[in-house]
Amino acid sequence: MLSILADTMFFPPERSTVAGSVDGLFDFIYYLSLFFFVLIIGFMVYFVLKYYQRPGHTEMPSPSHNETLEITWSVIPSILVGVIFFFGFTGYLNVREAPENAYEIQVVASKWNWVFKYPNGAESSDLHIPVDRDVKFLLQSQDVLHSFYIPAFRIKMDCVPGRYTSTWARATQTTGSGLDESAHEPLRLFCAEYCGQQHSVMHRKVFVHETAEFDQWAEKAANILENNPPEVAGEILFKRKGCAQCHSVTGDNSAKYPGPPLNEQWGKERQVLPRGSSSPITVTMDENYVRQSIRQPNSEIVVGRKPGMTVFTPQLLKDEEITAIIAYLKSIK
């Protein structure tokens, strides 16, 4: 396609098997539009220059309609939009229906977090996928609408609470090599359906690995608790489960973080309001307090804060995981 200009101006890199055809259609519509635009505006400017009001110039008789002309300019655009429609819809069916035997990743969106779950039990907060393999994304949402969007793959699909939706992609290039993330140039994944306060920070990285390397990564990711010391595992979980979204670990107490900061808090006392009560009580930040704040976050709210934290049920966060997070919280200064 004649896409030298368009490539550089309009598109993120093409990194999936469908991206090429989407961009091809885009280019087709683009050049067609450009042609008609130049035609219409060209005529407009020409008429203005030729017939503008000036001394001695008057309007000249001309037909106030012309059947041939009107039929031509209705029929030609109709055919053209028919063509656009056709390529649009074949391309679309392509991204809607995942090929058989695709590798399936479950995507769970929530305010304001993504969790990617792999068939071997691994979970991650950035997306990792193998190159040259069909990957199906089974999407769900735990609260409001979100939308799963990877521009480089040209795919997008809403995550609708109460139902499953899906989309798929086959990546054509790795983003780097090795398990060290800094050796990669990851792609972007955005939330594209407005979902409240932190909608705009609900974006993540997409890593595309060589197949063998991906398997290695998935193996390691499946065993966080076993493969890491508790504080390290806790830190991974703290980020992955979305705690870091609302709680700062640098002491930042600004409105950017709806929850209170959690560093240097271990063993300290704080004022909380038990649910339904208006007089604060004092509690100490210890194992039981942390566990309760995770399982029933709205039962006691720190004075000056608003309730709003997600309830982490045992399906979302296992007891052993809470233990690791506690180890991490103890360790952060």
Residues of this chain that interact with Cu ion (CB under 5 A) are 146, 191, 195, 202
Which residues 15-34 are close enough to bind another protein by CB under 8 A? Answer: 18, 21-22, 25-26, 29-30, 32-33
Q: If contact means CB under 5 to 8 A according to the sort of partner, which of Cu ion, another protein, none does residue 275 touch? A: none
Helical axes 287-295 vs 319-331, angle rounded to 10° = 130
Identity of the residue numbered 309? M
* Alpha-carbon Rg for the chain in angstroms: 28
Residues 221-250, mask of contacts with another protein (x by CB under 8 A): ------------------------------
* 204-240 CB burial, b ≥16 within 10 A, e <16: bbbbbbeeebbeebbeebbebbeebebbebbbbbbbb
Distances 198 to 110, 112, 187, 257, 263 between C-alpha atoms, Å: 11, 6, 20, 10, 22
Piece of the chain touching another protein by CB under 8 A; list 114-122, 196-204, 270-278, 284-292: 196-204
Identity of the residue numbered 24? G
Which residues 89-128 are close enough to bind another protein by CB under 8 A? Answer: 89-97
Q: How far is the CB of 11 from another protein (least distance, A)?
A: 6
Cross-strand bridge partners of residue 147 = 158
Q: If contact means CB under 5 to 8 A according to the sort of partner, which of Cu ion, another protein, none does residue 73 touch? A: another protein
User: 146, exposed or middle or buried, with CB in 10 Å at 0-12, 13-18, 19+?
Assistant: buried
**Shorter beta-carbon distance to Cu ion: residue 195 or 233:** 195
Q: How far is the CB of 279 from another protein (least distance, A)?
A: 23
- Decide if residue 252 touches another protein (CB under 8 A): no
- Decide if residue 88 touches another protein (CB under 8 A): yes
Counting residues that bind another protein (by CB under 8 A) gives 88
Taking the CA of residue 245 as centre, how many other CA atoms within 13 Å lie in the half-sphere pointing to its CB? 23
Sign of the alpha-carbon dihedral angle for 177, 180, 181, 184: negative
Of 99, 119, 121, 196, the one binding another protein by CB under 8 A: 196
Piece of the chain touching another protein by CB under 8 A; list 40-48, 99-107, 113-121, 270-278: 40-48
- Decide if residue 192 touches another protein (CB under 8 A): yes
- Decide if residue 281 touches another protein (CB under 8 A): no
Cis peptide before 168 (omega within 30 of 0): no
Piece of the chain touching another protein by CB under 8 A; list 68-76, 113-121, 213-221, 236-244: 68-76
DSSP for residue 142: S
Q: If contact means CB under 5 to 8 A according to the sort of partner, which of another protein, Cu ion, none does residue 138 touch? A: none
Tell me if 235 sits within 8 A of 321, measured CB to CB.
Answer: no
